[in-house]
Amino acid sequence: MNQDLLVRLFRSIDGDYNDDIVKVAETIIADERKKGHEKLAERLKTILQKNVHTNQSFRGELKNIFGSVSIPTDKRYNIPLALEISREQLRHHMILTDEIESKIKRIEQEYVARERLAQYGLKPRRRILFHGAPGCGKSMSAERIAWNIGLPFLKVRFEAIISSYLGESASNLKKLFEAIVTFPCVLLLDEFDFIAQSRGNKQDVGEMHRVVNILLNVLEDYDGPGLIVATTNLEGSIDKALFRRFDDIIEIPKPGQEEVLRILKGTLSSIKTEKTIDWVKLSSDMVGFSAALVVKIANDAAKNSVIHGNGVVGNEHFVISLAENQLYNKS
């Protein structure tokens, strides 16, 4: 590979010592040494060490910041109102349509450029709502954003927020938002229709009505250093006033045929597959399936090929997997 191209490639690397991209880079350095390209190998090594060190330092600073922030607990049972998901556990490899990819990338780019935007009196999108069918990547989109912009990821625990005691649910919600007002993080309100039911619901009780009002206020007032991301499967049941509190509302659709094909091949990238598989027909048959279901079907076919075959996925394994998973696509 051209030396200038290698240098440019290494300058773009951003990761930890245990990341695959860093391990591949170390292999390239070793290969260059074997070829006798000592100067190039040393230069690449210096670039790599600098990038990894900078990345580690940045994450260390975030960790120190997070350690100084105490996640509030509910008053009665002392249960944390949010759960931190470690960076290593964040799902960030996604296959999306170009349109949705562009919208999510815009959120990430605006956050990274927040200081430049501020010079022009502009603010990045900070309150995001993802809606769509189950299994299409709403929660994963939030995790991917946290991964790409390097912020800690907190997931609200609604089982701790909601209390049967008068006033405690609203109090819990206020405490949580007060805790992150100066703390840079991505806060996920997953399936927040659980808490944000329309106030026009005749079965609504007074306590939940108060919680929705508090949610309206904390969302509108939020001007913290991080992002608030909410997800819902039930767009129609959300209080309309809440929709106006979000800076961006994005529908995550079910994957089209092209995305289904990429998901199938990506899921089976480490598994051998027969050349006779008609990928075009297979992906066409799965149009209308959620991304999560496509992944499940591919994984089930792979497991079937290992248990009942030679570990090579063929058409027959997909036939069985599709038949077994049809029930999951009824929704």
Domain boundaries, the chain: 3-66, 71-251, 257-329
Q: pLDDT at position 54, please?
A: 52
pLDDT tens digits for range 87-123: 889 998 899 999 999 999 999 999 999 999 999 999 9
- Residue predicted with more confidence, 131 or 60: 131
pLDDT tens digits for range 144-170: 999 999 899 999 998 888 876 767 888
- Span 289-307, average pLDDT: 95
Cα–Cα separations (whole angstroms), residue 219 to 129, 213, 239, 245: 11, 10, 13, 6
Residue 234: left if φ>0, alpha if ψ -120 to 50, beta else—which one? beta
Q: pLDDT at position 66, please?
A: 47
Closest by CA position to 3, among listed 58, 44, 50, 49: 44
| Beta-bridge mates of residue 228 | 127, 187
- Span 34-40, average pLDDT: 81
Cα–Cα separations (whole angstroms), residue 118 to 77, 103, 113, 183: 41, 21, 9, 18
Residue 223: pLDDT over 60: yes
Binning pLDDT at 50, 70 and 90, where does residue 207 land? low
Q: What is the average pLDDT score of the chain?
A: 84
Residue 331: pLDDT over 50: no
- Tell me the percentage of the chain whose pLDDT exceeds 90: 49
- Span 1-12, average pLDDT: 72
Residue 279: pLDDT over 80: yes
Q: pLDDT at position 15, please?
A: 62
Q: pLDDT at position 185, please?
A: 93
Residue 59: pLDDT over 60: no
Min mean pLDDT across 27-36, 126-135, 202-211 is at 202-211
Query: Which residues are CB-neighbours of 91 under 8 A, at least 6 positions away?
Result: 140, 143, 144
User: 257-329 domain in CATH 1.10.8.60?
Assistant: yes
Other beta carbons less than 10 A from residue 325's beta carbon: 17
Residue 252: pLDDT over 90: yes
Q: pLDDT at position 2, please?
A: 64
CA–CA separation, 132 and 109 (whole Å): 23
| Beta-bridge mates of residue 131 | 232, 251
Q: pLDDT at position 210, please?
A: 77
Given this chain, do its domains 71-251 and 257-329 carry the same CATH topology? Answer: no
Q: pLDDT at position 200, please?
A: 55
Q: Can you state the percent helix, strand and coil of the chain, rounding each to 5? A: 55, 10, 35
- Residue predicted with more confidence, 220 or 234: 220
Query: Model's pTM, two decimal places?
Result: 0.75
Domain covering 71-251 in this structure, CATH number = 3.40.50.300
